[in-house]
Amino acid sequence: MFQFNDLSDIQMDALKEISNIGTGNAATALSKLLNQKIDMTVPNALLLEINDVSEKLGGSDKVMAGIITGIEGDINGMMMFLIEEQFAKGMVEKLLMGMEFNIHDEICGSALQEIGNIIAGSYLTALSSFTNLTMVSTVPAYSVDMLGSFLNIPVNLYSELGDQILFIENGFGNDDNSKGYFLLFPDVES
């Protein structure tokens, strides 16, 4: 059975390049959506133990916005995009052009689902182009919750793949509050 730790250095380099392309595509799409320049930093792709993710992001009690989408096609599984709560609020504020909102409002959720859809599509397009495999994302789900709650989802669904996940840290600005974290969980057959 495949596990991420079976990847060679060349395969990891390819995943890092896919991450770079996906992040660039996402930054361009977000820039158009928000009608402003979105800077990006070079993404950092790592293989992490699932238990180390919460520590890397500030602890399992840290509140984040999360967008989760399924992957269907030649590869099946799930993608999760976690963003700092302040970054989520900032993007929604731009989309809603200053309209009052609460991070838990339906309109905020809808806006973040669209952002998640754009980001997932950007990564899947890069991955599909690089691998010549067909992949589409399902309708994303959105929530604001503690990091530990988000990480329980893939642990319960994909624990048979082992303890490692592909973790991509993205910077969409010049400060630590403008970061997003992309996690990929292919199913066993993929």
Residue 163 pLDDT > 80: no
Q: What is the CATH number of the domain that holds 36?
A: 3.40.1550.10
Q: Give every CB contact of residue 181 below 8 A, 6+ residues apart in sequence.
A: 53, 57, 81, 82, 83, 167, 168, 169, 170
Cα 2 to Cα 72, 81, 128, 161, 189: the distances in Å are: 18, 23, 19, 7, 9
As a whole-number percent, the residues of the chain with pLDDT over 70 amount to 91
**The pair of three-digit structure tokens given for residue 19, joined into one six-digit string:** 């991450």
Residue 71 pLDDT > 70: yes
* Residue 10 burial by Cβ neighbours in a 10 Å radius (0-12, 13-18, 19+): exposed
**DSSP one-letter string for 71-139:** EEESS-EEEEEEEEHHHHHHHHHHHTTT----TTSHHHHHHHHHHHHHHHHHHHHHHHHHHT--EEE--
Between 85-95 and 106-131, two packed helices, what is the crossing angle to 10 degrees?
100
pLDDT in tens, 108-142: 888 888 888 888 888 888 888 988 999 988 988 88
Residue 132 confidence (pLDDT): 92
Residue 101 pLDDT > 60: yes
Domain tally, the chain? 1
Q: Identify the domain containing residue 97 by its residue range.
A: 4-186
As a whole-number percent, the residues of the chain with pLDDT over 90 amount to 9
Stronger pLDDT, 71 or 169, i.e. the higher one? 71
Residue 61 pLDDT > 90: yes
The reported pTM is 0.82
Stronger pLDDT, 4 or 82, i.e. the higher one? 82
Cα 47 to Cα 6, 12, 96, 99: the distances in Å are: 11, 9, 36, 40
Question: Where residue 160 falls among pLDDT bands split at 50, 70, 90?
Answer: low
Mean local confidence (pLDDT), 88-109: 82
pLDDT in tens, 17-41: 888 888 888 888 888 888 888 888 8
